[in-house]
Structure 1
Amino acid sequence: MFRNTHQMMLFCTAVVLFVTACLYGQANVKMLRDALNDRVKTNAAMEGRVHNTLLTSEIIRYTGDEVLHTVRQMTGTGVQVEVNGYGYVIDPLLDPSAMIPVELDGNYRPEYNRNESGELVKLSFWKEVQRQ
């Protein structure tokens, strides 16, 4: 008899802890959702006065694989993509065999061109020359 009582108490404790954890998680999700909604409202109220001031001294480089993936992913977004000065629009659904002349193991330097409102208009990749 004592054994059954002990197991029932352990089971009830586990149920109470599980319900408490679920309620705590739900409260955290609500708090995060409210904070994100508040941040969206604050940014919308700024009316374009928010500017990115983060500048890094490290040069960003893309590999050829990343360039190829980026060109394919940017198709249909309205952003022009250039590789070494030539524009490419490739839709993998319409032409899966379309090729872009990139060296997969090469390094490419990205160049972001934005309009007055900060939207990305053109993305250019330039091949870096390997020094020997």
Structure 2
Amino acid sequence: MSQNTQQLMLFCTVVVLFVTACLYGQQNVRVLSDALNHLLQTTTDMEGRLNTTLRISEPIRYSGAEVLHTVRQMTGTTVSVQVDGIAYVIDPLVNRRGTIPVQLAASYRPEFIRSGTGELLKIAFWKEASTP
């Protein structure tokens, strides 16, 4: 075969594959659109039987070990971490023996402070009083 014939066959193959991919993508978009329309119709048909909330039913609690891990992971980011009102920055690469006075078995309540745009600015952990 001549080189021109080979190039023509290669070009035709590429065109066929491109058209096939476009048709396959169009079919996927149609299937997803139909699924979303069906979901919208199902939700509309529920007529108020669907109840959504923006609150968490049970408050989040962290153990002391999770607090230590969070402080070490947030070091080097723009997010500051406070434990009982004191800010801590411990870089495990610089100071491996840096400690934070937390009780590993204690329970801590996190408080996430965000900017007006939703960007996380600070995480504050507050130790909860234990009940004997």
| Short-chain TM bin | 0.5 to 0.7
Equivalence for 2:60 = 60
**Counterpart AA for 1:114:** R
Equivalence for 1:87 = 87
* 1:26-64 deviation digits (Å, cap 9, x = unpaired): x9xxx7xxx9xxxxxxxxxxxxxxxxx732120100000
Displacement of 1:131 in angstroms is: 1.2
Is structure 2 residue 127 aligned with structure 1 residue 131? no
User: What is the aligned length?
Assistant: 83
Q: How does 1:96-111 map to 2 (within 5 A)?
A: 96-111=96-111
Cα RMSD between the aligned structures?
A: 1.8
* 1:98-118 deviation digits (Å, cap 9, x = unpaired): 000000000000000000100
**Counterpart AA for 1:91:** D
Q: Distance in 2 between matches of 1:79 and 1:92?
A: 16
Q: Distance in 2 between matches of 1:116 and 1:89?
A: 25
SS of 2:57's partner is coil
Is structure 2 residue 108 aligned with structure 1 residue 71? no
- In the TM superposition, structure 1's runs of 4+ consecutive aligned residues that sit over 6 Å from their partners are none
Identity %: 57
Where in structure 1 are there 5+ consecutive unaligned residues?
A: 1-26, 36-52
* 1:59-109 deviation digits (Å, cap 9, x = unpaired): 100000000000000001110100000000010000000000000000000
TM-score normalised to structure 1 length? 0.59
Q: Distance in 1 between matches of 2:63 and 2:106?
A: 6
